[in-house]
Structure formats: C-alpha cells, structure tokens
Structure 1
Amino acid sequence: MSAKILALDTATENCSVALLYDGTITTRSEISPRGHASKVLPMVDEVLKEAGLTLAELDALAFGQGPGSFTGVRIGTGIAQGLAFGADIPMIGISTLEAMAQAMYRIHGVSNAVCAIDARMSEVYWARYQRQENGVWLAVDDECVIPPQALCETVQDDEHTWSQAGTGWDAYQEELAGLALKREKSDVLFPEAQDIVVLAEQAYAEGKAVAPEEAGPVYLRDKVAWKKLPGRE
C-alpha cells in the first residue's frame, strides 16, 4: 500500500492542497494573490473528508518549502508545521522549483526543465532539473536567487532544449532574452500540491521525512529569519 501523504503549498500566488491515498491523488487549488491563510485549511478539511481520513492517520505531511513569496512561504510552513506537530506525524519539505519541473513532466512529459520564479528586487529564483529514468529530478544548477543579467553572463548553451516554467520569464522577458539556452515555453507558472505530493512520496520512501521541529522554509535570501518551534536548535 502506498504512503498516505498530505501536501500543501502557499509559496506563490497559487494556493493548493493534495492528498495521496491508496494510489490516488485528490487535490484542491486556487490562484489567489492574498488570503492563503484562510483558504488552505478548508482545502485540507475537504480532501481529508473526501478520503475519510484524519490527520493522525497520515504517514507524513509535505509542504512547499520555497523559494517563493516570503509571506507565502512562512504561511505554508507554519500551517504545515502546526498540523504535523498536533497530529504527531513527520514532515517533508519540497522545493517549489522542483515541483514545477514535476508539473511539466505530468502535463507535457518534459524531462529537461528550467524554472524561474519572479523574486522581485530585479531577481529570479532559479534552478534547472533533468528527470532520471527512476523518476528522480537531478539538479543541474543549485537553487539560487540571482539577477537575470548574471544568468545571461554565466549560463552556457548545451545540447538540450529546456522547457521553461515559472513567473520569472514574463516578469523579466527582455532581461532573459539573451540567455544562451535553447528554450520552449510552457503553461506552468506556479507550483501545485499534487506535484509536491508525488515528490514527497519519493522522499518518504527514501527515509527523508523529519520531525516537525526540524522542518523549515527555504528562502534563498540570507536576511530572512524564521521563528523556530520550541526546542528547535
């Protein structure tokens, strides 16, 4: 029997929840620039009730750990941490960039993904991934926050055609026009919990779930503080 995993994500304009149970994924999703804190918990209740499960019956709770909106990443991490802590279940943090790569595979069968989220302040959250035969995504570049101009100066062309995802491509269309990669557009703009839960299932099978007090967000910018749970070092 497959693991029972709940996933939620509020790191971008998209607010989403997904439940993996008995090999089936039930999902809720709404694009809403604001109000994630009030929307995500009703979504959680809906998918759990539909499956007839309680939080305590889950094997793990996954969340979009970022990068993304500072406020959105905080909300998602905090809500997920509170739910997992109360239900005494472990957590799995999943990259929002990698989740978009997974979305492109789910929708278009893409194996070479280049992801860029608008990070404001004339920067993008950036990463490239290649899907391996076992379904695992290999990071070609380390996730980073970087000005588009710096990307154009450092990223070199290769033999692959990269499918692009994220809001960064439209936000910095002119700045990224000189990027030396063969690229094709896709319709994936935001991460989705239904892709996070697939990646979380892989991580759970590999023993990567952690206690709630050990889970945390990934901002990529160093000057952002995270309020830790009691007892966390």
Structure 2
Amino acid sequence: MAADGTGKPDAAVVRDALGVGVAVGLSGVAFGVTSAGSGLGLLQTCALSLLVFTGASQFALVGALAAGGNPLTAAAGAFFLGVRNAFYGLRLSQLLALPRAVRPFAAQWVIDETTAVTLAQPTRRAARIGFTVTGLSLYLLWNLTTLLGALGAKAIGDSDAWGLDAAGPAVFLALLAPMLKTSTERVVAGLAILLGLGLLPVLPAGVPVLVAALAAPAVLFAEGRRGGRTRQDAPDGSDAPNVSGISDGLDVPDGSEEVR
C-alpha cells in the first residue's frame, strides 16, 4: 500500500511504470537498426540514445538522413520535436518538487512516457515513484536495445525489407494517439499529418517535419479568434465558453499532496 495509506499503492505504480518502460524500451532495437542503416556508426548511434534520449527526435534525425536529407535540416527537425520536452519539464517540476541537486539528472528523463505516467498519479509520492521507475527502466532498456539493434543491423541486412523503417513512426503514433483527448489536439494532429505527408514529395527530407510544426500555432490562433468573437457576442461575457480548457478553482489546499 501507499506509505500514507491513501491514494494508489506503491506496487501498482511500480507495475504500471515498468510496463511502460519495458514496452517502449524494446523499440530501441528498431532505432538501432534504422540508425545503422542510415549510415551512422555504432558509437554515433549509441551516443544518440545516451545523450538525446527522446525516441521521436532520434527517429526523425536518422529517418531524414536515410532519405538523403541535409544533416543540418535533419538536426533542426529533431530539435524542434524535442522542444516539447522543455514544456513537459515546466509541469513536472511543479508536480515532483525534486531537490535542486537532482533536477539536472532528472531532466534527462523528461520525455513523453515519464510525463504520461507521472501525470496519471494521484499523489506526489506516487508521481515521484512513477517518474523514477519509468525513467530508469526505459533509459537502461532503450540504450541496451539500441546497442543490440546496431550490432545486429548487418545480420538483418536491408531494414526496409523487414519493414523496420516503419517501426519508428508506428511507435510514435502509438504513444501520441492516447494523448489526443480534446478536439483541438486532434485537429492539430490531423493538420500536422496533412502538412507533413502533403509536402513530403515536394520538399527536401526533414523540411516537411518543420513545416508540420506550424499546425499548432495555426490552430490555436484560429481557436483564439473564434473564442474572442464568442465573448463579444455574449451580453456581459459571463456566458462565453471557457476556450482555454482550464477549469476555475484548481488551487490545491495548503499541505495537500494532490497532484491532479
């Protein structure tokens, strides 16, 4: 049970976190094979997993390189995909409230999976356990399977013949789909897909990813304009819908360990 007798039992948090860490960590094999197939050496491939450690950005980089894209363009696409982790960090820093000495090390583990597990926990204790177990298990397994995939790339041969070139996008979509809970998020994702796929035949490799990133500000701008018109139409503004999606009265009482 949880140490304070409330909330989610620690064992259940560990079980859920390990499930995510193991399931996603195994896909490092696909990254290792794909990276080796794009022309990167063993050390370069392993360094990406050790230092970058964000699967979507890693797959975007090696995918663009494999398609013959400019290295700078490929790196830019990977960078912009990784920027989202900085926003995750802003939220997680409040929920976890880790000591200052630990934060630089914990920052390396701020990714999609650790964020999803952490936000699902009802208390700060459970959030810390979920973040730590997910981050540790995923980091260790991802790097191990990356090494195995890179070493086995030559034995596998042409990764395209095995369909491993599709493993990266498939894993990324599997992680993203459950997070699209609002209509705005689904519209952003749909527009990004249309931009990315539509521009793929006419722009150099790596560039469509950068253009697809414009979907988010475009949709948010359109929603803001629509929300502004709705508030103007309301008699005193009191009937206008809350377009921000943020509810009132979310302050947690002092001393509470509630995370969400």
Normalising to structure 1: TM-score of the pair? 0.27
Normalising to structure 2: TM-score of the pair? 0.25
User: Which structure's relative contact order is higher, taking Cα pairs within 8 Å and 6+ residues apart?
Assistant: 2
Question: Which structure would you say has the larger Rg?
Answer: 2
